[in-house]
Amino acid sequence: MQFRTDINGLRAYAVLAVIIFHFNQQWLPGGFVGVDIFFVISGYLMTSIIFRGLDNKTLSLLKFYASRIKRIIPALLVLTLILIVLGYFFLGPISYRNLSKESIRSLLFISNFLFWRESGYFDTSAISKPLLHTWSLSVEWQFYIIYPFVLAILAKICSISTLKKIVVAIAAISLIFTIYFSYQAPIAAYFLLPTRIWEMLLGGIIFIYPWNITKNWQKYSLEIGGILLIILSFFIINANIPWPGYMALMPTIGAFFLIQANSNSIITNNIAFQKIGLWSYSLYLYHWPLVYINHRYNLQMHVVTFLVLTFTLSLLSYYAIEIRKWKVKYILIAIFVVLIPTYGVYKTKGASFRVADRYNITAEEFANNYAGGGTFPSYQEEYINPKSTHDYDYTIIGDSYSRQYAKFLIDSNKSMRAWFADACLFTIDYTVIFQNTEFSKCTNFVDHFFKITTKETQTKPIIWIQSWDGYTLMPKGSTNFTSQVTLKNPKDHQSYFEFITKTVQTLTQHNTQRNIYLVGVYTRPNYNIYECLSEKGLSKFSEICDEFIPKEQHEINQYLKEIADQTPNIYYIDPDGGLCDDRGCRMLINNEPIFSDDGHLSTYGANIIGPYIFQEIQKIELEDKKL
C-alpha cells in the first residue's frame, strides 16, 4: 500500500492532542479525542489490507496477524519490561502488584476490561494507573482479531459488493448502540469494543466507498473542513460529555473528510508533522508513564521538560525497537518470558519480600486494615451504637468522607443515625454527574433522606461531612450536559456555591429545631502516605515521607463558613483544627499514615480529627444550652 503522508500527518495531530490533554486538561479539554482519530485511521488501513486481499484472493489471516504482532508488540513489550524493572526498585508492594496486573493484561490485550471494571478514564484514580493508556491498544487488537476473520468468512458466502454494504450496516448499528450506551453505561461505552467498532468501520468506509475528487480546490476545501472539525473538537469537547456519544462524530467525521480528501498540503505534509506521525506510536506509549511518574512523585515537571523526556524516550523506542524487523516467533517467546516473572510479582503481593512485614499486604487487605470506613454499609439508613428503641444522639450524613469516621464512631461509643452515600453530594434539585451520567443511585438516596427528614420533628443535631469540592453537578431533570458545574472550572464557582446554599437552606427550613454542623474540607496530601512508607529503603528517591505539609486554603471552606454565619442553627467546623498546628498539617503519627489514600482518612486520621469535631460540637451545644 502506498504511504499516505496525509494520514501520517493526521497521526501527529492525534498524538499531540492526547499528550497535551494528559499533561494539562485545561489546555486542551477535548484532546482525548485523538484516540478516536487513531481508531478511524486504523479502520481505514485494516480495511484496505483486508479488501485488497479479498479482491486479489491473497488474504492470509496468519500474515495479517503476524504483521500486527510485529508492528505493535515489540515496543509495548519493552515499555512493560522497563516499568516492571523500575517498579522493583521504586514501587511499594501494592502499586507494584497493580503494575504487574496491568502489565499482564496489556500484553494479552485485555487491559480495557480491567480499567472498565476499576475506574473511569477521567476519574482521579486513573492517574494512578501507569498503563491506563493501553486500553486503546487492547480495543484495536480485539478489532484486528475479529474483523478480518468475520470478513473472510462472509466473503465466502456473499459478493464483495454485499460485503461493503454489511460493513456500512454494522457501522450504523454500532453508532446507534454507542449513542444509547454512552448515557446508560458510560464506562463500558468508553472502554469496550462494541461502542468503538463504528469509529474503525468509519475509516473502513473511506476505503470501500472513496470519493472521486479530482480538482485540487475540492481536495483542499475538504481537507480544511476536516482539520477544522478536528481542531474545534479539541476545544469544544470535554470530559463531562458522555463519550463516545453523538459528539464523537465531530472529530471522526473530521478525520473522514481529511482522509477522503487525500490531499498533500502543508496542513499534514510538513516535516515536523511527518516526523511526529512516524514516531506517534512510541510517543503514545511513553507519554502516559511520564504523566504517572510526574503525578506520583509530585515532580511538577515543566511542560518543556515533559516533552523533551517524552520525545527522547520515544525516539529511542522508534529507532531501536519499532523499525527493527523482529521475527514473530521471537516476539511470542519474549512475551512468554516477560509474563512469567510479571505473574510472579502479582503472586508475591508485589514482591513484598523487599519491604518490612507490616507492608506485606494487598490493596484489599490495606483497605480493611487502614480505611476508616471499613466495611460499614453505604446507601442505606443505619444506626451506630443505637440506644434502646433505636434512639440516638446525632444524625450524620455525607459521602465516603463522612463514612470514613465509622470505625471511630463505633469505637468511641457515639450513638448515631447514619446516612452514608459514597460518591454522593447531598443536594436538592441538583444531581451528581458521575462517570459522565446522572448518578441516579445518589439522587434517589438523597431524595429519600429529605423526604424522611421533612416529616420529622427531631431536635437531634445533624452532622454533615462531605468532600464538598469534588463533584460535578447539574440541575435535576436536565439533559443538557453543557449545564454541568464543577469547582474545577473557575467560571462555575458561583453556580456551584448556589447549589449548595439552596440545599443547606432547604435542610434548615425543615429542621428548625436542630443544629446543623457543616464540616469542611481538610488539608489533603498530594501523594499516598502509606505507599511512601512502604517504599522507604527501596531507593533514595522514595525516602522522604513528610510528617507535616503546609495547610491548604480551600475556597469552599470560606463559603461554608459564610453560610453558617448568615443562617440560624448552622455551624461551621474546620477539621484542620484537629490536624494542623504551627508546623503544618500532620501526615504521620508514630510512623502511621493519617490517610489511607490521597484524600480519605485512615483509622489513625479519623481517630484524630473525629474527637476534634465532636469536641467543637459539644462546645457549641453547651453554649446553646446557656442561651
Residue 180 has φ and ψ, to the nearest 5°, of -70, -50
Q: Is the pLDDT of residue 216 over 80?
A: yes
Q: Is the pLDDT of residue 540 over 70?
A: no
The CA distance from 63 to 148, in Å, is 11
Q: Is the pLDDT of residue 297 over 60?
A: yes
Task: Give the pLDDT score at 143.
Answer: 96
Q: Which residues contact 18 (CB under 8 A, 6 or more apart)?
A: 31, 32, 34, 35, 284, 287
In this prediction, residue 431 has a pLDDT band, given cuts at 50, 70 and 90, of: confident
Which pTM was predicted?
0.85
Q: Which residues contact 568 (CB under 8 A, 6 or more apart)?
A: 508
Q: Cell numbers of 514, please?
A: 436542630
Q: Is the pLDDT of residue 602 over 60?
A: yes
Mean pLDDT within 93-120: 91
Q: Is the pLDDT of residue 435 over 70?
A: no
Task: Give the pLDDT score at 591.
Answer: 80
| CA distances to 207, 419, 480, 590 from 502, in Å | 55, 20, 21, 43
Where is pLDDT greater, at 67 or 539?
67
| CA distances to 86, 340, 528 from 95, in Å | 12, 19, 10
Where is pLDDT greater, at 613 or 185?
613
The CA distance from 610 to 608, in Å, is 6
Mean pLDDT within 592-614: 89
Q: How many residues does the chain have?
A: 627
438-490 pLDDT, tens digit each = 778 888 999 999 888 877 777 889 999 999 988 888 888 776 666 778 877 77
Q: Cell numbers of 119, please?
A: 475506574
Task: Give the pLDDT score at 536.
Answer: 77
**Strand-pair category, 584-586 with 548-549:** antiparallel
Mean pLDDT within 513-536: 85
Task: Give the pLDDT score at 626.
Answer: 60
Where is pLDDT greater, at 84 or 214?
84
Mean pLDDT within 530-550: 76
Mean pLDDT within 198-203: 97
Task: Give the pLDDT score at 237.
Answer: 92
Mean pLDDT within 100-114: 96
**Strand-pair category, 588-589 with 592-593:** antiparallel
The CA distance from 96 to 353, in Å, is 12
377-411 pLDDT, tens digit each = 899 999 999 987 778 999 999 999 999 999 999 99
Q: What is the DSSP letter of 248?
A: G
Q: Cell numbers of 40, please?
A: 478511524
Query: Partners of 419 in the beta sheet?
Result: 381, 397
Q: Is there a contact between 338 and 77 (Cβ–Cβ < 8 Å)? A: yes
Q: Is the pLDDT of residue 162 over 80?
A: yes
Name the packing angle between helices 328-347 and 61-90 (round to 10°).
40
Q: Is the pLDDT of residue 625 over 70?
A: no
Mean pLDDT within 514-527: 89
372: closest CA among 415, 331, 340, 420? 420
Q: Is the pLDDT of residue 124 over 60?
A: no
Helix ranges (H only) for 348-432 are: 363-370, 400-403, 406-411
Q: Is the pLDDT of residue 74 over 90?
A: yes
Mean pLDDT within 354-362: 79
Reduced to 3 states, what is the DSSP secondary structure of residue 178?
Answer: helix
The CA distance from 436 to 211, in Å, is 36
Q: Cell numbers of 383, please?
A: 444506626
Q: Is the pLDDT of residue 525 over 70?
A: yes
In this prediction, residue 184 has a pLDDT band, given cuts at 50, 70 and 90, of: confident
Of the ranges 132-146, 495-509, 611-625, which is most confident? 132-146
Q: Is the pLDDT of residue 120 over 60?
A: no
Q: Across the chain, what does the average pLDDT equal? A: 89
Q: Please report which helix (H) or strand (E) contains residue 519, including its range.
A: strand 516-519
In this prediction, residue 529 has a pLDDT band, given cuts at 50, 70 and 90, of: confident
| CA distances to 171, 183, 479, 590 from 241, in Å | 22, 10, 11, 45
Mean pLDDT within 249-259: 97
Q: Is the pLDDT of residue 43 over 90?
A: yes
Domains parsed from the chain with CATH numbers: 5-353 (no CATH), 373-525+553-582+606-626 (3.40.50)
Task: Give the pLDDT score at 430.
Answer: 80
Task: Give the pLDDT score at 71.
Answer: 93
Q: Is the pLDDT of residue 222 over 90?
A: yes
Cα-Cα-Cα-Cα dihedral sign, residues 561, 563, 566, 570 = negative
- Characterize 227-237 residue by residue with b for buried, 16 or more Cβ atoms within 10 angstroms of its Cβ, and e for exposed: bebbbebbebb
In this prediction, residue 418 has a pLDDT band, given cuts at 50, 70 and 90, of: very high
Where is pLDDT greater, at 45 or 537?
45
Task: Give the pLDDT score at 526.
Answer: 77
